[in-house]
Structure 1
Amino acid sequence: MENTQCQRTIMVVDDHRFSRMVLSRILQAADYQVLIADSSERALEMLEEHIPDAFMIDVEMPGMGGIELCQKLREQPRFSMTPILMVTALEDPAVFRRAFAVGCDDFVDKPLSPLVVTARLGGLLKKYDSFRELERVRVNLARYISPRVRQIIERSAQMDELPPPEEREVCILFSDIRGFTALSQKLPPSVLFSNISQQLGAQVDAVYRNRGYVDKFGGDGIMAVFDGDSMAWDACRCALEIMQVAAEMANEDVPMPLGIGIHQGRVVAGNIGSGKHLDYSVIGNSVNLAARLCGYAHSQDIVVSDIVCQAVGEDRRFRFVDPCYARIRGLPERIKIYRLEPNEEASAALPS
């Protein structure tokens, strides 16, 4: 089981009883808990029940040597960054190279010096603590940004510069809860927030199941982006899933009927804002039209542009019904739109 105490636990792996005793006394005097294994094989067995904060491993041992043990530890994700100190009386550079190549962090020489052991071990543990803190921050931040944006950030960090804006073809989906303003006036904030969070969470899951990503939340809806060869198909499938899940989550006391709009077209994708606060997003007329179609949709309607209908083509899993030329707010001319519905085959294929 994992060590949850404040006192650090160090695993000592050495086949010599006297070396184990000396190292254990040094570590205990420095207020460390000590786990002792007299072989690499025994150490691996003990790790089924314990997760040490660091390892001190003798290089030369019968059977599996210390360098091989170090390699096996690094192959386990839970020990990929755990401090590993190798202990040796050898002065062979080839041994050092092999040990560092498989992931050893540092060496301590025999005979052991308490000052050197505690200083090097303490330094490695501080670095490990810093790494774990950064990893916790990274994981928590990842919850607030889409995987696509995270990939862009990681690439830009490697290049040491932000990627320039680029024009590309995407399919945009907007969702919106109808009557949200009136609903917010009737429900306690905590109840409203809980239901909105559950509803939007289900929408986000549907987006990622269908190879899209969430560009932003809009309070009572989302803006999702789909790209790739099947972008229109993915967006339509996602919209139907969202509607089905919303129907399954329907609550008479907290009605949350949805409207969805989908359009495909050219956008500019890039970073918006200043150096202190950036937002990676897509902008352009195609985004605006998708938002307008969402606003045009009635309760429980999915409205798509003619471009989306043509891009999906003759696919028996979707029904594009009620074609008409509608006047959309902000556009000078009427545009052709459809309502998207599932047919029986599509409904049977959607997840329950």
Structure 2
Amino acid sequence: MPSNAPPPNIDRARILLLDQDEYSAGVLFDDLTERGYQNIKRVATSDLLAASLRELDPVVAIFNFHFQQQSSLDDCKAIKSLAPDTAVLAIVSAGPAIKMVRNWAKETQAIDVVIEKPLSDESFFLVLRDLVKSRLASRELHARAKGMESLLPSGAISALERRRGEDAEMFQAAVLFTDIRRSTQAITQFSPQDFFTILNRALSAQSAHITSFEGVVIKYTGDGVFAVFRGMGRTYLALRCAIELAKSESQQILPFGIGVAEGLVLAGLIGDSNKAGLRRQYDVIGATVNLSARLCSLAEPGEVMTTKQVHRAARVSAFRARDVGTIDIRGFEHGVECVAHDAQ
């Protein structure tokens, strides 16, 4: 590819041209069009800038500076404020003008590149091409990162930022599980697409409840949610959240049970420890997690099953609680004193 060739994906190279002079704007517009740039919008006055940024979402803004219109530099500040990921490329005449603009750009950080006029060679278009390529690549990486972020629990992101993913963490937590009852039967009642639509709607509603009570969704367990509450008030928040979930409208479509336990948990990255494999995921494990899952499996639809310890610590008295006695739970040596909360 020649060095002055337009960048790949030029159809996505949206260019905003800021020039208050109609003649110079027309010349520059034609030059850009000849080099393959088609998605160009010219803005002649500052009052149209904000609307143009919203409409176009430009990759690069080209700012043609005229020395007699020094106040127009404020447009560059506006671009960085309203569209911070848009690159600003200023073209400025030699002499005092370019010196002043370079100093202003250094002070305000509102211009990314300053090019000297007249544009008698291809240097301007080479710089523009590189800016477009880098900004398109940056936006694509950002979009991918946002997509990956939606697949990770916030605890995983915090762990990676805080510990670079190398260390495990042990802490006290209240653990909540939900599990949809008779999901196999429900699958046969809907088309695959309809079932997944209903399931995702139900899980989204559960996640919203959990987040509103300061919980963190660790993962989805197929037809349920696994969440953790930590910090002050964790037991109260977890049990209140569980009771609100038991009362939620989604119980009418896909009924589910809920389990809550409290105690020590271990959190960190698990999976392939081979650095070449890089197949690891964030998880929270431990006896408390297992107990919460077992309690969830014992709960009836619309019911919260928890331990007497959690019931006492949470001090939630606004809903009916039923002592179900000591239950033998698989994986635990001693029986567990349990309490059921019926939100009906």
- State the one-letter code of the partner of 2:87: P
The change in CA–CA distance for 1:51 and 1:215 in structure 2 (over 3 A counts) is closer
Q: Does 1:128 align with 2:126?
A: no
Summarize the alignment of residues 149-298 of structure 1 with structure 2, pairs less than 5 Å apart. 149-153=156-160, 155=161, 161-184=164-187, 188-245=191-248, 247=249, 250-251=252-253, 256-274=254-272, 275=275, 276-298=278-300
Which amino acid letter does the alignment assign opposite residue 326 of structure 1?
A: I
Higher mean alpha-carbon deviation, 97-106 vs 185-194, is at 185-194
Please state if 1:24 is matched with 2:23.
no
Change (3 A) 1:103 1:338: same
1: CA distance, partners of 2:247 / 2:59: 48
CA 1:341/1:278 → structure 2, altered by over 3 Å: closer, same or farther? same
Q: Identity over the aligned pairs, expressed in percent?
A: 26
Mapped contact 2:247–2:343 kept (Cα < 8 A): no
Q: CA deviation at 1:182?
A: 4.3
Q: Which residue number in structure 2 is paired with residue 143 of structure 1?
A: 150
Native 8 Å contact 1:261 1:295 kept in 2: yes
Give a deviation string over 1:232-269, Cα, whole Å, max 9, x none: 12211221222222x45524xxxx33211100100111
Question: Any gaps of 5 or more consecutive residues in structure 1?
Answer: 344-352
Task: Quickly say closer, same or farther: Cα 1:40–1:192, change in 2 above 3 A.
Answer: closer
Structure 2 partner of 1:349: none
2-side partners of 1:84 and 1:144: how far apart?
A: 33
Q: Which runs of 5+ in 2 are unaligned?
A: 1-9
Contact 1:270 1:281 in 2 (8 A): yes
CA distance in 2, matches of 1:141, 1:217: 15
Q: 1:173, CA displacement in angstroms?
A: 0.5
CA distance in 1, matches of 2:46, 2:269: 51
Matched, 1:86 2:90: yes
Aligned-partner Cα distance in 2 for 1:283–1:326? 22
**TM-score, scaled to structure 1:** 0.82
Measured in 2, the distance between the counterparts of 1:187 and 1:236 equals 32
Report 1 or 2 for greater relative contact order, CA contacts < 8 Å, sequence distance ≥ 6: 2
**2:64: which partner in 1?**
58
The 2-side partners of 1:195 and 1:51 are apart by: 35
Normalised by the length of structure 2, the TM-score is 0.84
Match of 2:75 in 1: 69
User: Aligned residue pairs: how many?
Assistant: 327
Letter of the aligned partner of 2:155 in structure 1? Answer: R
Instruction: Give the letter aligned to residue 96 of structure 1.
Output: R
- Evaluate the alpha carbon distance shift between residue 319 and residue 38 of structure 1 in structure 2; reply closer, same or farther with a 3 A threshold: same
Which shows bigger deviation, 19-28 or 298-307? 19-28
Q: CA deviation at 1:97?
A: 4.0
Q: Counterpart of 1:131 in 2: which secondary structure?
A: helix
Structure 2 matches for 1:263-342, cutoff 5 A? Answer: 263-274=261-272, 275=275, 276-313=278-315, 315-342=316-343
Aligned to 1:346: none
8 A Cα contact 2:59 2:136, kept in partner? no
Please tell me the residue identity of whatever aligns with 2:143.
Answer: R
Partners of 1:323 and 1:170 in 2: CA distance: 23
- The one-letter amino acid of 1:82's match is T
Q: CA deviation at 1:44?
A: 4.8
CA distance in 2, matches of 1:42, 1:217: 46
Measure, in 2, the Cα distance between the counterparts of 1:93 and 1:122. Answer: 24
- SS, match of residue 265 in structure 2: strand
Asked if structure 1 preserves the Cα contact closer than 8 Å seen for 2:59 and 2:135, the reply is no
| 1:292, distance to aligned residue in structure 2 (A) | 1.3
Local SS of the residue matching 1:6 = helix
SS in structure 1 opposite 2:330? coil
Distance 1:225 1:46 in 2: 44
Deviation, 1:290, is 0.8
Letter in 1 for 2:231: G
Q: Indicate conservation of the 8 Å contact 1:259/1:295, yes or no.
A: yes
Distance 1:250 1:227, change over 3 A: same
1:9 to partner: Cα distance: 4.4
For 1:311 and 1:93, the matched residues in 2 are separated by: 68
Residues 180 and 23 of structure 1, relative CA distance in 2, 3 Å threshold: closer
